[in-house]
Amino acid sequence: MKPSQQQQWPKWNQVDWPTTLFLTITPVVGLIGTGVAIGVEGFSWGMALFSLIFAALTNLSITAGYHRLFSHRSYDAHPVARWILVFIGTSAWQSSALKWCTDHRKHHAEVDTDEDPYSINRGFWYAHLGWMFFKPAEDFKIHCPDLEKDPLLRFQHNHYIKCAIAVGFLLPWLIGWMVGYPLTGLFMAGALRIGLTQQSTFFVNSLCHTFGKRTYSDQITARDSLFVAVLTHGEGYHNFHHKFQIDYRNGIRWWQWDPTKWTIETMKYLGLASKLRTVSPTEILKARLHMESITLTSRGYSQEKLEALKAKVLHAQVRMKKLKEDYAHLKVEYRRLKADYAKKTAEWQEHSRESIERMKTEITLAKLEFRYSLKQWKALVKSPVPVAIS
C-alpha cells in the first residue's frame, strides 16, 4: 500500500483508556511522587544511582533484547541472557516481547504505509505516542512464529500485567524499603523510571523518522542522527538499521554512540552472546555511495564518471579486504610455524641435553676404566716376577 501524505487518527470511540491513562499519568505521578518521597524520606544518592542504573538496564533490555535479539534475530543469546533481558524488559511496561515484536516487524515490513502501526506519515505525535492510545484492530493477532515457540516468551505474554507490576513497581519498592527509602524506590526507581525510559524508546518511532540524514536509502523516512542515538541508546542510526535490519549494530563505526552494540559485544566476551550478524562492508559502502552519488549528480557531476569512480572505490575496498584477510591468514601461519619451530627446538634441546648427559657418564666410566687399566699396567711393570694378567 502506498504511503499516505496525511493519514487520519482513529476515532475517539476507539481509545484504549487504560493504556492512554497509564502512558500519560505514570510520568506525572513519578515526577510528583519523587518530589514527595524526597521531602518525606530525604534524598538518597544510593537510590538515585540505583534508579539510573535500573533505567539504563531497562532501555538496554528493550534495545538489545526486544529489538535486536527478538525482533531481528541479529545475534544468538545464552538462556541466562535471554532470561535477564526478558525479566528487566518486562519492567519497561511496553507490552510483552511477542506483542512488541509483532508490531515492530510489521513496522519494518510496511514502513511509511497505511499498514505501518506507527507510521510517521500520521504525524510526529502519533508515531511517538498516539498510536498506542487506540485499541488494536479487531483482526490483530500475535504473529511471530519463531518466537512463539519459546516458553519464556509465552509465559511472559500470558502473565504480562502481573509480571510488569512485580518487576516494574514492587521490585524497586522492595529494594527501597530494604534500605529505608520505600517511597523513593516506588516513585523514582518505579514510576519515573518507567515514564522516562518509555519516552526514550518512543523517540525511535518519532525522532528517528524526523531528524538526521538518510545515509543509505532515500526510500524510507528513517534517518541517522548522533543526537537521537544518545537519547535512544544507539538506535538513532536508524536509516542504517532500516536498510540493514539483520546487523546487530546501528552505529557501525567504533566512535559512533551505540551502547546497545557495546552491550552485545560485552555479552559475547562473557559467553552470553554468539553469532553476531553483520552486513558485508561492500554492501554498506554500495548503499552509501549510491546516496552520495545522487547528491553529486544534482550538483552537475557526470553520472558516467561517478559510476566509474564508484566502481574504482568498490574495487579498491574489495582488494583491501582481501589483502587484510590474506595478512591475517599469514599471521596465523607465521605463529603456527613459530610455535612448531619452538616445539622442535625444545625437543632438540631436550634430546641434546640427554645425549650430553649420556656422553658425560660414558666419559666418566671411560676415565675409571682407563685409570684401572693403567694401574694394572704399572703393577706389571713394577712386579719383579711375572704376574697373571686378568
Amino acid identity of residue 188, one-letter, is: M
Residue 316 lies in a domain: yes
Residue 379 lies in a domain: no
The answer to whether residues 274 and 301 belong to one domain is no
Question: Which residue bears the cell 579498491?
Answer: 316
The answer to whether residues 202 and 304 belong to one domain is no
Q: What is the DSSP string of 296-337?
A: HHHTT--HHHHHHHHHHHHHHHHHHHHHHHHHHHHHHHHHHH
Q: What is the mean pLDDT of the chain?
A: 88
Residues 42, 32: Cα–Cα separation, whole Å:
15
The answer to whether residues 159 and 300 belong to one domain is no
DSSP 3-state of 76: strand
Residues 6+ apart with CB under 8 A from 63: 201, 232, 233, 234, 235, 260
Residues 53, 31: Cα–Cα separation, whole Å:
18
DSSP 3-state of 253: coil
Of 261, 278, 295, which residue is a domain's last? 278
The answer to whether residues 257 and 328 belong to one domain is no
Residue 315 lies in a domain: yes
Residue 99 lies in a domain: yes
* pLDDT higher than threshold 50 for residue 5: no
* pLDDT higher than threshold 80 for residue 137: no
Residue 166 lies in a domain: yes
* b (16+ CB within 10 A) / e for 208-218: bbbebebbbbe
Confidence of residue 4 (pLDDT cuts 50, 70, 90): very low
The answer to whether residues 139 and 249 belong to one domain is yes
The answer to whether residues 87 and 186 belong to one domain is yes
Nearest residue to 74 via CA among 215, 218, 244, 257: 244
Mean per-residue pLDDT, 50-71 = 96
* pLDDT higher than threshold 80 for residue 1: no
Cell numbers that stand for 227 in this block: 543526537
Residues 286, 277: Cα–Cα separation, whole Å:
19
The answer to whether residues 298 and 316 belong to one domain is yes
Task: Determine the pLDDT at residue 2.
Answer: 44
Mean per-residue pLDDT, 193-215 = 94
Cβ-based burial of 62 (10 A; exposed 0-12, middle 13-18, buried ≥19):
buried
Q: Are 263 and 59 in contact (CB under 8 A)?
A: no
Of 278, 299, 326, which residue is a domain's last? 278
Number of domains in the chain: 2
Domain assignment of residue 304, given as a range: 285-345
pLDDT digits (tens, 9 = 90+) for 109-124: 999 998 899 999 999 9
pLDDT digits (tens, 9 = 90+) for 7-19: 455 566 788 889 9
Of 278, 311, 334, which residue is a domain's last? 278
Mean per-residue pLDDT, 178-190 = 95
Candidate ranges 57-71, 129-143, 367-381; pick with highest mean pLDDT: 57-71
Mean per-residue pLDDT, 244-254 = 94
The answer to whether residues 138 and 77 belong to one domain is yes
Strand bridging mode 76-77 / 273-274 = antiparallel
Residue 171 lies in a domain: yes
pLDDT digits (tens, 9 = 90+) for 207-237: 999 999 999 999 999 999 999 999 999 999 9
Residues 338, 10: Cα–Cα separation, whole Å:
71
The answer to whether residues 272 and 289 belong to one domain is no
Residue 160 lies in a domain: yes
The answer to whether residues 299 and 216 belong to one domain is no
Backbone angles phi, psi at 106, to 5 degrees: -70, -40
Residue 369 lies in a domain: no
Segments in the chain forming alpha helices (H): 17-41, 45-60, 79-90, 97-109, 124-128, 151-158, 160-165, 171-178, 182-186, 193-206, 226-231, 238-243, 259-269, 281-298, 303-382
The answer to whether residues 254 and 316 belong to one domain is no
Give the count of beta carbons closer than 10 Å to the beta carbon of residue 60: 22
pTM: predicted TM-score of the whole model, two decimal places: 0.80
The answer to whether residues 77 and 154 belong to one domain is yes
* pLDDT higher than threshold 90 for residue 264: yes
